[in-house]
């Protein structure tokens, strides 16, 4: 039996307006190349960097949310390497004295919660983008100098599923803080994993392989599975795992060895002389603490306790802070059943959000409209099926649920007199079916029910119809 040992390094682009050390716009997604550049981020001689204060705050808040200590004294360092993604010949990062250290996050896998240690959270600058074409490499420095936060876990992650859950948790937290979009597709969150295997129970770690280029949640899961299998197979056939850096290749589903990485000694880190130390006092740290929104764990506990919701529903509602806020906005309408609200949001709304690939902030369905819809169902004005159609209309056009029901004549028919004649007609036109029911087979009742619904365009009160059918067929 083997066990996999995984440590993760997650890079998160901070959601600031300007870059880490200069006033250039930090926006680089689908921007024409080299539009957001200046002497600082293209390393012209004599230019001097100045820290973006908001980036320091966002990284510290992330640290606090990850139960880290925000260090009273931290320092930027130069990580020296020669590669044109940064024209300076070094990346400004943090090394010996990071902004935050020693935290943890809790993940849940198969109902079991587990703490994963966070070794450090530090600040650095993102690099430019390279396009290799023919005999040249083309460089775009719009991304160079964008604030980047690196979150390093300890090696207590033990499976692909745990790695996946850890990454989800990190993304959830940075999103709650509005520290980052956490959007992996747009490169706002990128991931590397150090993976090794060892005999279960062994004290020593196996040789670790660093896997880069994990640009999606699926890639993380697949790469961990692949590397685990590859390393075990290697050991079992008498081979040894070498300490190498590999890149995940999504199309082939395999890892490929990359050019041997410089060791940390080779980076010749030293304190960045152009940037002053960051010294933070208790007051500053408390101000960041006060700025934190309600975080996923306390919010989850509160929603469970306050609204009597099931854990799995709360988990869905709190995945995204906006969703939770939407839910609370719905249930603040008097008389709204929280469980109904949760059902509508995690069911019908989620389905449509996913289908249209949009988020709750962009929908036309307002919390008031959903509360109204729930009230209409609860009060018997419309049935569940019609309500789903009404939601579809609200989704497409917005407006109020009552107005939609009113203007389209969708109100439920519960009036016995009106339904009596419809039921009588359905019975009269389906003699064969009626005969079977009278012979003691109750199944075709559903069919007759459907016929009545069709005749009333779905508006009939199902309970009333059932009663009327039974009465007219003499089944009572």
Residues that bind other proteins (CB under 8 A): 16-18, 22-25, 32-39, 42, 44, 50-56, 75, 80-84, 89, 97, 130-132, 134-141, 258-259, 262, 266, 268, 271, 273, 276-280
Stretch that binds Zn ion, among 23-31, 99-107, 150-158, 173-181 (CB under 5 A): 23-31
Q: In the bound complex, what is the minimum distance in angstroms from residue 215's beta carbon to other proteins? A: 15
Q: For residue 2, which of 227, 297, 315, 182 has the smallest C-alpha distance?
A: 227
Question: Do 77 and 270 form a contact (C-beta atoms < 8 A)?
Answer: yes
Reduced to 3 states (helix: H, G, I; strand: E, B; else coil), residue 329 is helix
Distance CA 411, CA 440 (A): 34
Structure tokens at 276: 């002053």
Is residue 146 part of the contact set for Zn ion (CB under 5 A)? no
- Interacting partner of 75 out of Zn ion, other proteins, none (Cβ under 5 to 8 A depending on kind): other proteins
Q: Which of 8, 10, 12, 22 binds Zn ion (CB under 5 A)?
A: 22
Is residue 41 part of the contact set for Zn ion (CB under 5 A)? yes
Q: In the bound complex, what is the minimum distance in angstroms from residue 84's beta carbon to Zn ion? A: 17
Q: Which CB, 39 or 442, lies closer to other proteins?
A: 39
Burial-class residue 248 by CB neighbours within 10 Å (0-12, 13-18, 19+): buried
Question: To the nearest 10°, the Cα dihedral for 382, 386, 387, 393?
Answer: -130
Q: In the bound complex, what is the minimum distance in angstroms from residue 251's beta carbon to other proteins? A: 16
Structure tokens at 96: 């010996």
- What is the Rg, in whole angstroms, of the alpha carbon atoms belonging to the chain? 30
Is residue 24 part of the contact set for Zn ion (CB under 5 A)? yes
- Interacting partner of 50 out of other proteins, Zn ion, none (Cβ under 5 to 8 A depending on kind): other proteins
Q: Which CB, 54 or 198, lies closer to other proteins?
A: 54
Is residue 38 part of the contact set for Zn ion (CB under 5 A)? yes
Burial-class residue 330 by CB neighbours within 10 Å (0-12, 13-18, 19+): buried
Residue 381: alpha-carbon gap to chain centroid = 37
Q: Which CB, 134 or 417, lies closer to other proteins?
A: 134
Q: Which CB, 248 or 326, lies closer to other proteins?
A: 248
Q: Which CB, 232 or 280, lies closer to other proteins?
A: 280
Q: In the bound complex, what is the minimum distance in angstroms from residue 19's beta carbon to Zn ion? A: 5
Is residue 51 part of the contact set for Zn ion (CB under 5 A)? no
Q: In the bound complex, what is the minimum distance in angstroms from residue 94's beta carbon to other proteins? A: 11
Q: What is the number of other CB atoms lying within 10 angstroms of the CB of residue 95?
A: 18
Q: In the bound complex, what is the minimum distance in angstroms from residue 288's beta carbon to other proteins? A: 14
Place of tokens 């389905």: 351
Question: Do 182 and 11 form a contact (C-beta atoms < 8 A)?
Answer: no
Distance CA 258, CA 253 (A): 16
CA angle 314, 316, 322 (to 5 degrees): 95
Q: Which CB, 56 or 189, lies closer to other proteins?
A: 56
Q: In the bound complex, what is the minimum distance in angstroms from residue 274's beta carbon to Zn ion? A: 14
Instruction: By CB under 5 A, name the binding residues for Zn ion.
Output: 22, 24, 38, 40-41
């Amino acid at each position: 039996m083997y066990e996999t040992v995984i440590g993760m390094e997650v890079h998160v682009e901070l959601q600031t307006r300007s870059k880490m050390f200069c006033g250039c716009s930090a926006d680089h997604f689908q921007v024409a190349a080299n539009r957001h550049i200046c002497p600082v981020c293209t390393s012209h001689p004599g230019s001097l960097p100045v820290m973006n204060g908001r980036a320091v705050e966002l990284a510290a808040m992330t640290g606090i949310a990850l139960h880290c200590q925000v260090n009273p004294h931290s320092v930027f360092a130069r990580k020296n390497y020669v590669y044109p993604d940064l024209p300076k010949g070094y990346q400004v990062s943090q090394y010996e004295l990071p902004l935050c250290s020693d935290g943890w996050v809790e993940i849940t896998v198969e109902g079991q919660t587990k703490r994963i240690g966070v070794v450090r959270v530090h600040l650095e600058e993102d690099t430019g983008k390279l396009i290799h074409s023919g005999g040249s490499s083309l460089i775009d420095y719009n991304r160079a100098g964008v604030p980047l936060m690196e979150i390093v876990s300890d090696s207590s992650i033990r499976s692909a599923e745990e790695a996946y859950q850890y990454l989800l948790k990190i993304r959830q937290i940075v999103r709650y803080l509005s520290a980052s979009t956490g959007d992996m597709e747009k490169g706002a969150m990128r991931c590397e994993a150090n993976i090794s295997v060892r005999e279960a129970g062994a004290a020593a770690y196996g040789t670790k392989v660093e896997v880069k280029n994990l640009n999606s949640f699926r890639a993380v899961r697949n790469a961990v599975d692949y590397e685990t299998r590859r390393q075990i197979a290697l050991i079992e056939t008498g081979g040894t795992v070498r300490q190498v850096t590999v890149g995940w290749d999504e199309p082939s589903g395999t890892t490929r060895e990359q050019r041997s990485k410089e060791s940390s000694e080779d980076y010749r880190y030293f304190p960045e002389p152009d940037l002053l130390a960051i010294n933070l006092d208790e007051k500053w740290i408390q101000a960041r603490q006060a700025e934190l929104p309600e975080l996923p764990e306390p919010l989850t506990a509160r929603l469970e306790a306050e609204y009597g919701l099931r854990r799995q529903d709360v988990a869905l509602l709190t995945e995204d802070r906006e969703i939770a806020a939407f839910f609370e906005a719905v249930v603040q309408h008097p008389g709204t059943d929280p469980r109904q609200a949760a059902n509508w949001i995690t069911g019908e709304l989620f389905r449509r959000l996913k289908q249209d690939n949009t988020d709750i902030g962009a929908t036309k369905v307002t919390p008031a409209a959903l509360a109204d819809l729930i009230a209409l169902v609860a009060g018997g004005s419309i049935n569940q099926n019609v309500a789903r159609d009404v939601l579809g209309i609200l989704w497409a056009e917005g407006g109020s649920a009552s107005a939609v029901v009113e203007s389209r004549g969708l109100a439920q028919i519960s009036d016995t007199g009106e339904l009596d004649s419809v039921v009588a007609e359905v019975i009269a036109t389906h003699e064969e079916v009626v005969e079977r029911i009278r012979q003691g087979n109750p199944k075709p009742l559903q069919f007759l029910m459907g016929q009545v619904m069709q005749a009333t365009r779905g508006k009939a009160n199902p309970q009333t119809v059932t009663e009327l059918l039974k009465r007219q067929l003499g089944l009572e």
